[in-house]
Amino acid sequence: MPREITAYSNPLIKRVRNLREKRHRREEGLFLAEGLRILTEARESGRLPEYLFFARDSADHKLVRTLIADVEAAGGEAIETVPDILSKLSGKDNPQAVVGVFAEFATSLDALDRNAADIWLVAERLRDPGNLGTILRTGDAVGAGGLILIGECVDPFSLEAVRASMGALFTVPVVQAEWGAFLRWLRAGPGQLVGLSLDTDSDYRSATYVSPTFLLTGNEAQGMPADYAAACDLLVKIPMLGKADSLNAAVATAVMAYEVLAQRRADPSRG
* Model confidence pLDDT, tens digit, residues 26-48: 999 999 999 999 999 999 999 99
CA atoms within 13 A on the CB side of 173: 18
- 147 forms beta bridges with 121, 174
Strand ranges for the chain from DSSP E: 3-4, 30-34, 51-55, 77-81, 98-103, 119-124, 147-150, 174-177, 192-196, 213-217, 234-236
Rounded to an integer, the average pLDDT of 62-79 is 95
Class of CATH domain 3-103: alpha beta
Indicate the residue type of 13.
Answer: I
Distances in whole angstroms, Cα of residue 85 to Cα of each of 5, 176, 215 = 9, 33, 41
In this predicted structure, the answer to whether residue 246 has a pLDDT above a threshold of 70 is no
Query: Quick one: which of 150, 122, 146, 152 has its CA closest to 253?
Result: 122
Superfamily assignment of 109-266 in CATH? SPOUT methyltransferase, trefoil knot domain (3.40.1280.10)
Residue 90 identity (one-letter amino acid): S
**Is the overall model pTM greater than 0.75, yes or no?**
yes
Q: Which helix (H) or strand (E) holds 186?
A: helix 179-187
With bands split at pLDDT 50, 70 and 90, how would you rate the model's confidence at 8?
A: confident
Classify 194 in phi/psi space as left (phi over 0), alpha (psi -120 to 50) or beta. beta
Predicted confidence at residue 124, as pLDDT, reads 94
CA distance 263 to 210: 9
The pLDDT mean for the chain works out to 92
Residue 78 has pLDDT above 70, yes or no: yes
Q: What pLDDT does 240 receive?
A: 74
195 close to 228: Cβ distance less than 8 angstroms: yes
Q: Write the DSSP string, 213-237.
A: EEEEE-BTTTB--HHHHHH-SEEEB
Listing DSSP states for 128-175 in one string gives -HHHHHHHHHHHHHHT-S-EEEESSPPPTTSHHHHHHHTTGGGTS-EE
Buried b (16+ CB within 10 A) or exposed e, 172-206: bbbbbbebeebbebbeeeebbbbbbbeebeeebee
pLDDT-derived band at 16, boundaries 50, 70, 90: very high
Side-chain-facing half-sphere of 6: CA atoms under 13 Å: 3
Q: State the pLDDT at residue 54.
A: 93
Task: Quote the pLDDT of residue 271.
Answer: 56
The structural domains of the chain, with segments of one domain joined by +, span 3-103, 109-266
The predicted structure's pLDDT at residue 270: 59
Phi, psi of 198 (to 5 degrees): -90, -15
> Which residues pair with residue 176 across a beta bridge?
149
